[in-house]
Amino acid sequence: MLTKRIIPCLDVDHGRVVKGKKFKNIQDVADPVELGRSYSLNGADELVFYDITASYEQRDIFLNIVEKVAEAIRIPFTIGGGISTPDDFRKVLMAGADKVSVNSSAVKNPQLIRDAALRFGNQCVVLSIDAKRNDNASWDVYVKGGRENTGIDAIEWAKKGEALGAGEICINSIDTDGVKQGYDLELNQILSEELTIPIIASGGAGKKEDFASVLKVGASAALAASVFHYGEIPIPDLKRFLSHQKLPMRPVDL
């Protein structure tokens, strides 16, 4: 069985890590480079940095932060936000990132997934999906930082993303984001059964048991922000807990 991964998510807005609830009430947290360095030293398996307003404000990628992070940490990291062309992939990867995440731009131009996968490899392409439950017992895809409902079915979009060449799907539940009541287990289980590529669960972690629950229903990795940013769940403690739950984890080398 493949090792499960714990991934802190750092939402970056104009050079600072921020956090909110259901994409609202955004508050300042920390410097992204220093926080990333701390996570790297304390057992995180990977990191994800999202420039949460780049697409909405239609501005360039924060390459200066990417370069500084690459120098500061020793684990793989993903960059998302403001990525709209294969050349954006190239810039981010050349600056030191291991993977690139696309969301709004891939919905607008699905060919971007295929072009990037062919040019840089499937392993570099992460399709991030912001999903919200609708009244029809399914989930809609939202874009522009959760501001706009596309009406696209999230499960079908994930399947199309895999077919186009995405190497991973990061599924973020807007309904559970920042609420700390647990991940959307139904959504993650369906995706893990429908797809063959890894699923990264995002949105809702509040306690150690939440991580165990979503990893046991099929997610390959669990992503979280506030419980890590505010020191509520130390990553070494979490990974020891998950190991005791019979989940395969990479040892914490401190």
The model's pLDDT over 113-161, given as tens digits with 9 standing for 90+, comes to 999 999 999 999 999 999 999 999 999 999 877 889 999 999 999 999 9
Q: Into how many domains does the chain fold?
A: 1
Is there a domain that residue 131 lies in? yes
Is there a domain that residue 199 lies in? yes
pLDDT band at 99 (very low <50, low <70, confident <90, very high): very high
Question: Is the distance from CB of 138 to CB of 117 less than 8 angstroms?
Answer: no
Quote the domain boundaries for residue 175. Answer: 5-244
Is there a domain that residue 231 lies in? yes
CATH number at residue 238: 3.20.20.70
The rounded mean pLDDT for the chain is 92
Is there a domain that residue 195 lies in? yes
- As given in the structure block, the two tokens for residue 35 are 């926080």
Is there a domain that residue 251 lies in? no
Pairing of strands 5-13, 16-21: antiparallel
Question: Is the distance from CB of 146 to CB of 165 less than 8 angstroms?
Answer: no
Distance (Å, whole) CA 200 – CA 170:
4
Angle at 56 between CA 55 and CA 61, to 5 degrees: 35
**What is the reported pTM?**
0.93
SS3 content of the chain, % helix, strand, coil (to 5): 35, 30, 35
Active-site annotation holder among 11, 13, 88, 210? 11
Is there a domain that residue 249 lies in? no
Percent of the chain exceeding pLDDT 90 equals 78
Instruction: Give yes or no for residue 19 having a pLDDT over 60.
Output: yes
Which distant-in-sequence residues (6+ apart) come within 8 Å of 137 by Cβ? none
Is there a domain that residue 157 lies in? yes
- The SS3 call for residue 25 is strand
Is there a domain that residue 35 lies in? yes
- Catalytic status, residue 130: yes
Active-site annotation holder among 13, 45, 51, 130? 130
- As given in the structure block, the two tokens for residue 172 are 């973020």
- Catalytic status, residue 28: no
